[in-house]
């Protein structure tokens, strides 16, 4: 029996969704959503964004042996900084972690949120239980920072999402040392009349294929009853990721199920990571309605074929 629902979307939802909900969190909190997965030595680690009752978010760790059934650790693994330079900029929480492995080191780019706005921060971890902050790597007004898994032309590369002229576009920036970022270039902007017409941002650490970097991103369409967050794909040139090979016209996942429609922010599917399994299946982890953590799958080859056309 197929455990995944075949609906109207390219991605197949797991029938057991949501895989992590409020009742699975061992400590008091408001919501759980937007988790970033890593698979290491057969164990799945999922770094979850948990919003507390006060409104600030922290990160909790969930582990699993099959990527579907997770157990959440009893206390958060990363909370807003209590001292040092980070304290000032994490006063309203830490949000939307994205883990990227580069040469055996696990980096986490996340949003540091404070009274000054959202800015991108960088930390690293060896075991997913303890995190060492490295630096604040953007000014405010920027989020959805995601590292590429390898250097390109001897430089680290990241997606980021500054808002200029009120427009949230995806940009690419470069760094020689992960601390100082620049050479920023626009990658792509919202497309009028499409599912991603209002705002876009990178979602999943880019996956290298022989056709180019496959990026799963989020797009927002504004409607008379509020925004709708969807997921789509773009393929970028391997040597120069500011060059778009193909940007799909259709989204691959739209909010339809109750756990995506109903929650603190309704009509949201928001991915923060994916696992490519040895059998060619891609598991995409996403937050539903800013209140649940869900997974959907697809054959990676099918997603590439779709994304190239
Ligand atoms: C984005 C981020 C996400 C959130 C989404 C929908 O801007 O803040 O964390 O899931 O909005 O509310």
Nearest to 199 by CA among 151, 232, 155, 237: 232
CA distance linking residue 35 with residue 47, whole number of Å: 5
Tell me, what's the pLDDT at 1?
44
Choosing from 31, 96, 120, 228 the residue with most ligand 1 atoms within 8 A of its CB, the one to mutate for a pocket test is 96
Atom of ligand 1 nearest to the CA of 95: 9
Cis peptide before 309 (omega within 30 of 0): no
Query: Ligand 1 atom 9: the closest Cα is on which residue?
Result: 96
The predicted structure's pLDDT at residue 2 = 57
Residues in the chain: 309
Q: Which atom of ligand 1 is nearest to the CA of 33?
A: 10
* Separation of alpha carbons 262 and 94, rounded Å: 23
Distance CA 285, CA 68 (A): 10
* pLDDT tens digits, 222-258: 999 999 999 999 999 999 999 999 999 999 999 999 9
Closest residue CA from atom 2 of ligand 1: 96
- Determine the pLDDT at residue 221: 98
Instruction: Report whether 59 contacts 48 (CB < 8 A).
Output: yes
Nearest atom within ligand 1 for CA of residue 265: 12
Pocket of ligand 1 from Cβ distances under 6 Å: 34, 95-96, 229, 265, 268, 270, 287, 290
For 243-276, b/e burial (b = at least 16 CB within 10 A) is eebebbeebbbbbebebbeebebbbbbbbbbbbe
> In terms of pTM, does the model score above 0.85?
yes
Reduced to 3 states (helix: H, G, I; strand: E, B; else coil), residue 88 is helix
Atom 12, ligand 1: residue with shortest CA distance? 265
DSSP state of 155: B
Beta strands 292-299; 167-168: pairing state: unpaired
| pLDDT digits (tens), the chain, 309 positions | 456 665 689 999 999 999 999 999 999 999 999 999 999 999 999 999 999 999 999 999 999 999 999 999 999 999 999 999 999 999 999 999 999 999 999 999 999 999 999 999 999 999 999 999 999 999 999 999 999 999 999 999 999 999 999 999 999 999 999 999 999 999 999 999 999 999 999 999 999 999 999 999 999 999 999 999 999 999 999 999 999 999 999 999 999 999 999 999 999 999 999 999 999 999 999 999 999 999 999 999 999 999 999
> Rounded CA gap, 242 and 236, in Å?
7
Residues of the chain with pLDDT > 90, as a percent, come to 97
Average pLDDT of the chain is 97
Q: Give the pLDDT of residue 8.
A: 84
Buried b (16+ CB within 10 A) or exposed e, 67-95: bbebebbeebbbbbbeeeebeebbebbbb
CA of 154 to the centre of ligand 1 (A): 32
**Residue having the nearest C-alpha atom to atom 4 of ligand 1:** 290
Q: How far is CA 300 from CA 20, 44, 99, 179, 296, in A?
A: 24, 19, 20, 33, 12
């Amino acid at each position: 029996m197929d455990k995944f629902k075949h609906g109207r979307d390219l991605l197949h939802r797991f029938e057991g969704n949501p895989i992590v909900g409020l009742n699975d969190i061992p400590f008091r909190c408001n919501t759980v959503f937007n988790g970033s997965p890593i698979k290491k030595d057969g164990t799945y680690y999922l770094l979850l964004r948990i919003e507390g009752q006060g409104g600030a978010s922290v990160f909790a760790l969930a582990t699993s042996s099959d990527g579907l059934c997770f157990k959440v650790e009893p206390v958060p693994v990363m909370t807003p900084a209590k001292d040092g330079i980070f304290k000032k900029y994490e006063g309203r929480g830490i949000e939307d972690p994205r883990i990227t492995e580069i040469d055996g080191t696990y980096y986490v780019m996340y949003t540091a949120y404070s009274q000054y706005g959202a800015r991108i921060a960088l930390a690293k971890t060896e075991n997913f239980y303890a995190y060492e902050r490295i630096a604040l790597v953007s000014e405010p007004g920027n989020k959805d920072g995601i590292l590429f898994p390898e250097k390109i032309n001897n430089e680290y590369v990241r997606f980021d999402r500054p808002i200029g002229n009120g427009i949230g576009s995806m940009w690419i920036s470069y760094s020689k040392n992960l601390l100082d970022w620049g050479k920023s270039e626009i990658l792509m902007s919202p497309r009028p009349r499409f599912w991603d017409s209002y705002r876009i941002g990178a979602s999943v650490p880019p996956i290298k294929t022989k056709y180019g970097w496959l990026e799963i991103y989020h797009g927002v369409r504004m409607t008379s009853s509020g925004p709708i967050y969807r997921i789509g794909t773009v393929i970028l040139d391997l040597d120069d990721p500011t060059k778009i090979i193909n940007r799909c016209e259709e989204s691959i996942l739209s909010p339809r199920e109750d756990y995506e429609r109903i929650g603190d922010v309704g009509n949201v599917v928001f991915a923060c990571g994916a696992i490519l399994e040895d059998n060619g299946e891609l598991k995409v982890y996403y937050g539903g309605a800013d209140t649940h953590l869900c997974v959907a799958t697809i054959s990676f080859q099918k997603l590439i074929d779709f994304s190239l056309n």
